[in-house]
Amino acid sequence: MTKFKSSLVWLAGLSLVIQIAVAALPFSWFGNDGQMPSLAPMLEQSKPAVVNIATRSQVRVQDNPLLNDPFFRHFFNLPEQQPRQRASQSLGSGVIFDAKKGLVLTNNHVIQKADEITVSLTDGRSFQAEFVGSDPATDVALIKIPAEQLTALPLADSDNLRVGDFVVAIGNPFGLGQTVTSGIVSALGRSGLGIEGYENFIQTDASINPGNSGGALVNLRGELVGINTAIFSPGQQAGNIGIGFAIPSNMVKQITDQLIEYGEVRRAHLGVQMQDITQELAQAFDIQSEQGAVVTRISAGSAAEEAGLKIGDIITAVDGNKLINADNLRNTIGLLMVGQTIKINIIRDGKQKTLKATVKESEEHTQTGQVHPKLAGATFGDIEPGTPHYGRINGVMIYSVKRGSPAANAGLRANDIITSVNKQAVSSLDEFKPFAYSDGESLLLNITRNGQAMFLILR
């Protein structure tokens, strides 16, 4: 009996703590009857800022790769193949980012191939959207609608998120219409998943399903903490199993600032190759922590060289933000504005030092000269350490493809790996350049995309 009474006292105390905590929230936690706790008041303010996105596009039907091989067609005397196309539709979600300008955030993969983008609001209005810019490497895109009286979600500081914080996902799963699910933050800083080029995901168990992409992940204040992007689905399972990923709002803000100013992301590079600190390396360098990244290579003329970095330096922090590993450094640098000056904390010969570096745009990713007409609009580079493909495949990586460019129309996509050109293997940018400047002759590309190999002919 005493144990039962103790349990009642404990439950009563917990109830009082919850009531005191929720009373501090900036919205009414309770429903209209004043009794039942509810997220409805917060959602009534947040839901109008989340939109449904429908796209239409003409997709080229992929023929057997052999039919695109000019040598194969010539040998069997086959006629010239005319490209076949079919209409394609897709559904996703978006978040109103700037109500006055009509700017809407979504995922790049939601709208990347779209010829027509329709945005539907919760009040029943629909608008044709204008493309503003996108960054395939982080899967962030920005579109614009000619609408008034919009509601935008305020941005939260995602650096303040903690594992265990309550979050709510709002989106358009399976095309059902706006749907709300709730859960908690399961993990932070997820990377190395091979989903995007730059990864720093929020992991959540709030149900995220196909169609939720581009939708909002909000905290209990109704602030945007992330853009829902991907789910983990083993095997052929297509639904949610409690592991979803969202792009943090701070990363989204950094990308969006550049999309608004330039229409694209001018990605900064430090000019180093890095390696994670292991227990063995920590002992070899006589340091206590296994966090950070050790410099293994420095590019000539790079920001790292100009800053005075040396091979063997251990980078522990950038602008006061501690680094966990090499991926963490790559993400941090890749999200900076070109020309930005940063402070780099290092350990050299057991002593701590601080260097200043002004990051540059990578020259190896910037095209110069007259490239093959069908390659215009794409940027190429060597496969960098820290990317999911590094050490697993030899080739040249396509880092970005401008929407509507000749490269995009030819079927090239960001994150494609070109492994051969005209049946000749290419393993570096230097080996690829003679073909890239081939003055318009046909190119037969062997491409690896999402783990699948295919041929693509450019003429």
Q: Where are the alpha helices (DSSP H) in 24-94?
A: 40-46, 70-75
Distances (CA, A) of 226 to 161, 208, 231, 361: 10, 13, 14, 27
CA dist., res. 372 & res. 143, Å (int): 30
3-state secondary structure 298-348: ECCCCHHHHHCCCCCCEEEEECCEECCCHHHHHHHHHCCECCCEEEEEEEE
Active site residue 389: no
CA dist., res. 303 & res. 270, Å (int): 5
Match 């680094």 to its residue by tokens.
323
Which listed residue (158, 213, 302, 420) is catalytic? Answer: 213
CA dist., res. 409 & res. 416, Å (int): 14
> Which H or E element spans position 262?
helix 249-262
Single-letter amino acid, residue 63? D
Q: Residue 17's Cα: distance from chain center in Å?
A: 38
Active site residue 286: no
Which listed residue (90, 93, 109, 158) is catalytic? Answer: 109
Torsion sign across C-alpha atoms 452, 238, 399, 324: negative
Tokens linked to 296: 């293994």
Active site residue 439: no
Which listed residue (135, 139, 313, 327) is catalytic? Answer: 139
Catalytic residues, which ones?
109, 139, 213
